[in-house]
Amino acid sequence: MDTGQIFLKGQPLPSEWFSGNAFLTPLVARDKNNEFSAGSVSFEPKARTNWHTHPKGQVLIVMEGNGFYQEKDKPAQRIKKGDVIIIPENTEHWHGATAVNKMVHIAITNYKDDVQVTWLEPVTDEEYESVNI
């Protein structure tokens, strides 16, 4: 059965860094030629990352569905298929699906030394519900 999805759903992501059901399919690993990794991340409705930062930034390419991207102390942005989000280094943010739609994005994440992400506190239900209006 063809679901129209380009990549497989992947493996569940850990609940200590994600709320709801999120999955990862690795696409590109860091190696001698690439100082980044890339993966397809699938968020079921209401799923989202914790607040987090990247020491060398990140790029998200939305492949399917609808979601949100929010930087700390700024309004959330609705994101949809075809959107490209460029996240500056050390910018506290979160991203995930809307309450009623799934969202799939490709995440391209740079390394600084051996660090790719610093995970912070979860996005509270109150924070999340305030953007789902």
1 is a domain residue: no
Average pLDDT, the chain: 94
Q: What is the pLDDT of residue 133?
A: 62
Q: Please tell me the distance from the alpha carbon of residue 104 to that of residue 74, in angstroms, as a whole number.
A: 23
Bridge-based pairing of strands 77-80 and 48-49 is unpaired
Task: Please compute the mean of the pLDDT values over residues 2-17 and round it to a whole number.
Answer: 84
**Number of independent structural domains in the chain:** 1
H or E segment to which residue 10 belongs: none
* Residue 62 domain-assigned (yes or no): yes
Q: Is residue 85 part of a domain?
A: yes
Mean pLDDT, rounded, for 87-91: 98
Instruction: Give the residue from 38, 47, 37, 42 showing the smallest Cα distance to 17.
Output: 47
- Asked, for residue 3, whether it belongs to a domain, the answer is no
What pLDDT, on a 0 to 100 scale, did the predictor assign at position 4? Answer: 67
**pLDDT beyond 90 at 9:** no
**Of 4-18, 28-42, 71-85, which range is least confident?**
4-18
E-assigned strand segments in 5-116: 11-12, 18-19, 22-28, 36-43, 48-49, 52-53, 58-71, 77-80, 84-87, 93-97, 103-110
Residue pair 123/132 in contact by the 8 Å Cβ criterion: no
Alpha-carbon distance of 126 to 19, in angstroms, equals: 13
Interatomic CA distance for residues 5 and 7, integer angstroms:
6
Distance of alpha carbon 129 from alpha carbon 132, whole angstroms:
5
Would you say residue 59 has pLDDT above 90? yes
Supply the CATH number for residue 69's domain: 2.60.120.10
Question: Is residue 118, in this structure, part of any structural domain at all?
Answer: yes
Q: Which helix (H) or strand (E) holds 118?
A: strand 118-119
Q: What is the reported pLDDT for 3?
A: 62
- Domain range for 102: 11-131
Mean pLDDT within 37-59: 98
Q: Tell me what pLDDT residue 74 has.
A: 96
Confidence (pLDDT) at 91: 98
Q: Has residue 72 been placed in a domain?
A: yes
User: Is residue 4 domain-resident?
Assistant: no
The pLDDT, as a whole number, for residue 7 is: 81
pLDDT of 21 above 80: yes
